[in-house]
Amino acid sequence: MARAPLIRLTQSGLYCEAGGFYIDPWRGVERAVITHAHSDHARRGSEAYLCAQSGVGVLRHRIGAGANIRGLPFGESFSMNGVNVSLHPAGHILGSAQVRVEHAGEVLVVSGDYKTTPDAACETFEPVPCHTFITESTFALPHYRWRPPEEVFGEIDAWWRANQRQGRTSVLFAYSLGKAQRVLAGVDASIGPIGVHGSVEPFLPLYRAEGIRLPDAVKVTPESLPDLKGRGLVVTPGSVQNTTWLQKLGPSSLAFASGWMAVRGARRRQALDRGFVLSDHADWAGLLDAIEATGAGRIGVTHGYSDTFVRYLREERALDAFVVPTRFSGEAATAKDEVEEGES
């Protein structure tokens, strides 16, 4: 007997008809389950939101104080019209969740964005057994392979120290939500003062409130500027490139922390001094490990190199893989584009 699919794609995004809710809808709906607070997943205008308990603060900051948001602790389940919904850590940013949907013995998991490498600023990814796994594919090509984060932070620290010796400010471009906090939690704060852009700063107390330990970091202002100039580390979104805001930091070394920096051409196209390969998405091996750990036989692929990845999963892994179209396409490839294209 053919059953209606548990989740299907509609004009507004992924929809669970039996449960009467959407996952990361693209426009306002009645009930929205949100994987995480990045703007390509969390849109304003829905009547009721459900997200992970630890993500409520950042989600509220993103979609407005008046929004009706309910937080659900990881692992606890919640029933909507007889459909069991539970949230499980995705390891992408603070409070990022995989959405597990169970109905009539069928289990489906929507990964949202995720990574399998450790991150001191958020919960660790947990594989969830399921029949169908809808995975992202931002970096689903074999040349994307992340080094252990402590190695990357070692490189960042060394770069910061070298800049200090030459009297240059270290400017590190990173998404204001997620990557910026991960960087703060990962660098050696004893090297010097740390400054953050105004779009990064509001998230710091929200992270600290969830027990994430972050070093002291000041907002870049005319008052804090003299202390940062020439010796500080400034964490800011890349949208400040070629602005007077950036010029005020004095002689600087510019770097971008992103998975795209794994490719030399991407690094060289932007006028950057350094590119640090640090991503909040899974790399090739991370994606394959995650898929295998779910034990799922049906794999939906979205958000990235979907076609290529589907072909690989079908031909080389004998999985029933299919493309789930999306309106968004992963992490912005240049530091400058990130705001226009939305974070991921």
- CA–CA dist 294, 310 (Å, integer): 17
Regarding 335 and contact with another protein (CB under 8 A), the answer is: no
From the list 20, 28, 64, 142, which residue makes contact with another protein (rule: CB under 8 A)?
142
Return the one option of another protein, Zn ion, none that residue 145 interacts with (CB less than 5 to 8 A, by type): another protein
CA angle (8, 10, 15) in 5-degree steps: 50
Decide: is 340 part of the binding site for another protein (CB under 8 A): no
Q: Which residues bind Zn ion (CB under 5 A)?
A: 38, 40, 113, 344
Q: Is 165 in the site for another protein (CB under 8 A)?
A: no
CA triplet 282, 46, 326: central angle to 5 degrees? 35
Which of another protein, Zn ion, none binds 113 (CB below 5-8 Å, type-dependent)? Zn ion
Residue 57 CB, nearest approach to another protein (Å): 37
Kindly state the smallest distance separating residue 331's Cβ from another protein, in Å. Answer: 14
Give the residue with the Cβ less far from another protein, 2 or 271: 271
Closest to another protein by CB, 76 vs 151, is 151
Task: Name the phi and psi angles at 67, rounded to 5.
Answer: -65, 145
218 is a site residue for another protein (CB under 8 A): no
59/141 with CB nearer another protein = 141
Q: Of the two residues 34 and 249, which places its CB atom closer to Zn ion in the complex? A: 34
User: Of 218 and 323, which CB lies nearer to another protein in the complex structure?
Assistant: 323
CA distance 10 to 26: 10
| Closest distance to another protein from the beta carbon of 335 (Å) | 14
| Alpha helices for the chain (secondary structure H) | 56-63, 149-165, 179-186, 203-209, 225-228, 244-247, 264-269, 284-294, 306-317, 338-341
The rounded distance, in Å, linking the Cα atoms of 143 and 255 is 21
The residue whose two tokens read 């109905």 is 103
Residues of span 273-332 touching another protein by CB under 8 A: 273-275, 305, 308, 311-312, 315-316
DSSP state of 292: H
Exposed, middle or buried: residue 82 (CB in 10 Å: 0-12, 13-18, 19+)? exposed
Q: Does 70 bind another protein (CB under 8 A)?
A: no
* Token reading at 279: 């991503």
- Token reading at 94: 């603070």
Contact of residue 263 among Zn ion, another protein, none (CB under 5-8 Å per partner type): another protein
- Work out whether 250 is an interface residue with another protein (CB under 8 A): no
With a CB cutoff of 8 Å and minimum separation 6, the contacts of 323 are: 300, 301, 302, 306, 307, 310
Q: How far is the CB of 336 from another protein (least distance, A)?
A: 11
Place of tokens 């870049």: 220
Q: Which parts of this chain interact with another protein (CB under 8 A)?
A: 141-145, 262-269, 271, 273-275, 305, 308, 311-312, 315-316
